[in-house]
C-alpha cells in the first residue's frame, strides 16, 4: 500500500533527493567511495557545498552582502547563537508557540528580552497583531511557521530594527524578500534535507558589534570565514539538501512551489470547513500552508481514535496532532504530492458518510 507521509519533521522529501542520496551512499560522484566516508575536504564534496550555497542564493534571490551557512546543532543552537552574536543589551520577540518560547528563554541569558506580543492566551491559535516593535531593540525575532499549532506569518514585515526569523518549517515554501531580514535560519528536516544540518542566512554587516567574547564555534564569523568548513560539516544532509535545491529549481522554483502549496492547503482547509465531523483550530487568516491542524467537532469527539485508525488503514502516516494539542495535523510540505491530500480528503468524506 502506498504511504502518504504527513509527518511534521523529519518529514517527506522528494523522491529525487532520496534516490540520489541512496546512490551517493553507494558511490559518491564516481569516486568509488560512499558519501558517508569521503573527506569533506575532497574536491568532490567541496563542489557539493559550493553548489548548495549557490543554489540557495539563486532560489531565494539572496542579495549581495549575505552569507549562507550550513552548520550543526539544529535551530535550537541558533536560539543561543543569535543573541550571542548580535544582542548588545536588548532584543524583542514575538511569542507564537513552543519554539518561540524556547528562543526567548535562550535570549534572556544575554540581556533584556521584550516579548512584544503573545498568542498564548488562546493556546497559540492566532498570530498577534497591532503590537509595537521597540526601536531600541538590537533585533526583533519571529517564528514564521508554527508546526505544533498550525499558524504562519506569510508576509515579510517592515521592521524598524534588524529582523531575525526562524523559518525551519516554511523555508522555500514561498518567495521571501531576504533583504528585509538580518538573519534567517532553520533546521533542515522539513523542507530541505534529513535532520543534522542547519541553514543560516546572515547579513554580514550585522556582525562584529558586540563586546562579549564569543566561543569560536558559536561565532558566525568563524563559519563565514571558513565557508562552513571550520569543522567537519554534516556531509550527508548537505548532499541531500543540494538534491532538494536541484529538485526545486527543476520544478519551477519557489513561486511555482508556493502555488502548489496553496492548492494543497485550500483543498484540505475547504474540506475541514465543509465536513461536519471536523473543525479547524486556527484563526482563518493565520492558517499555515505547511501544518494543517484540526480536531473532531465537539459532538463527535469520541470518534477521534476511530478516524485515526481509519486513515492509517488507508496508508496515511503522521497525521496525529502534537501531544500538547491533540487532534490531527497534516503537514503539507513541498515534497508532499497533491494526490496525498486528495486521499486524506476522500477519507474524511467517507468517514463522514459512515458516521455523520
Calpha distance 175→160 (Å, rounded): 22
Calpha distance 188→150 (Å, rounded): 18
**Can 166 be counted among the known catalytic residues?**
yes
Residue partners of 256: CB distance under 8 A and separation at least 6: none
Residue partners of 130: CB distance under 8 A and separation at least 6: 117
Catalytic residue among 61, 88, 89, 99: 99
* Angle separating helix axes 43-60 and 253-274, nearest 10 degrees: 60
Catalytic residue among 43, 57, 136, 166: 166
CA 231 vs CA 86, 217, 218, 325: distances in Å: 22, 9, 12, 39
**Can 99 be counted among the known catalytic residues?**
yes
Calpha distance 193→16 (Å, rounded): 12
| Inter-residue contact 169 to 152 (CB < 8 Å) | no
Catalytic residue among 190, 203, 260, 264: 190
**Can 247 be counted among the known catalytic residues?**
no
Residue partners of 334: CB distance under 8 A and separation at least 6: 14, 172, 173, 191, 248, 257, 260, 261
Q: Which three cell numbers stand for residue 204?
A: 554580514
202 strand-pairing partners: 67, 183
Q: Catalytic site residues? A: 99, 166, 190
Amino acid at each position: 500500500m502506498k504511504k502518504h507521509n504527513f509527518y511534521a519533521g523529519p518529514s517527506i522529501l522528494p523522491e529525487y533527493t532520496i534516490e540520489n542520496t541512496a546512490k551517493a551512499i553507494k558511490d559518491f560522484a564516481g569516486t568509488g567511495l560512499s558519501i558517508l566516508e569521503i573527506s569533506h575536504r575532497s574536491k568532490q564534496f567541496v563542489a557539493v557545498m559550493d553548489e548548495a550555497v549557490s543554489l540557495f542564493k539563486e532560489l531565494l534571490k539572496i542579495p549581495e552582502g549575505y552569507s549562507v551557512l550550513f552548520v550543526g546543532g539544529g535551530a535550537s543552537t541558533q536560539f543561543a547563537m543569535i543573541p550571542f552574536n548580535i544582542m548588545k543589551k536588548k532584543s524583542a520577540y514575538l511569542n507564537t508557540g513552543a519554539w518561540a518560547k524556547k528562543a526567548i528563554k535562550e535570549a534572556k541569558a544575554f540581556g533584556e528580552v521584550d516579548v512584544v506580543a503573545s498568542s498564548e492566551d488562546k493556546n497559540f491559535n492566532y498570530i498577534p497583531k497591532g503590537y509595537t516593535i521597540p526601536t531600541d531593540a538590537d533585533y526583533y525575532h519571529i517564528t514564521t511557521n508554527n508546526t505544533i499549532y498550525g499558524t504562519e506569518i506569510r508576509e515579510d514585515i517592515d521592521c524598524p530594527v534588524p529582523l531575525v526569523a526562524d523559518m525551519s518549517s516554511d523555508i522555500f515554501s514561498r518567495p521571501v524578500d531576504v533583504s528585509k531580514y538580518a538573519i534567517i535560519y532553520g533546521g533542515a528536516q522539513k523542507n530541505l534535507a534529513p535532520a543534522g544540518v542547519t541553514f543560516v542566512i546572515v547579513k554580514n554587516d550585522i556582525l562584529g558589534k558586540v563586546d562579549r567574547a564569543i566561543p569560536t564555534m558559536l561565532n558566525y564569523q568563524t563559519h563565514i570565514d571558513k565557508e562552513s568548513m571550520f569543522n567537519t560539516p554534516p556531509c550527508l544532509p548537505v548532499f541531500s539538501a543540494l538534491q532538494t535545491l536541484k529538485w526545486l529549481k527543476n520544478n519551477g522554483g519557489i513561486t511555482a512551489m508556493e502555488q502548489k502549496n496553496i492548492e494543497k492547503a485550500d483543498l484540505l482547509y475547504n474540506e475541514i470547513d465543509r465536513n461536519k465531523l471536523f473543525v479547524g483550530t486556527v484563526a482563518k487568516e493565520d492558517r499555515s500552508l505547511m501544518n494543517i491542524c484540526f480536531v473532531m467537532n465537539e459532538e463527535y469527539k469520541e470518534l477521534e481514535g476511530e478516524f485515526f485508525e481509519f486513515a492509517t488503514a488507508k496508508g496515511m502516516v503522521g497525521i496525529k496532532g502534537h501531544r500538547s494539542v491533540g487532534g490531527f495535523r497534516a503537514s503539507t510540505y513541498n515534497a508532499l504530492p497533491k494526490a496525498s491530500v486528495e486521499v486524506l480528503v476522500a477519507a474524511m468524506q467517507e468517514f463522514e458518510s459512515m458516521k455523520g
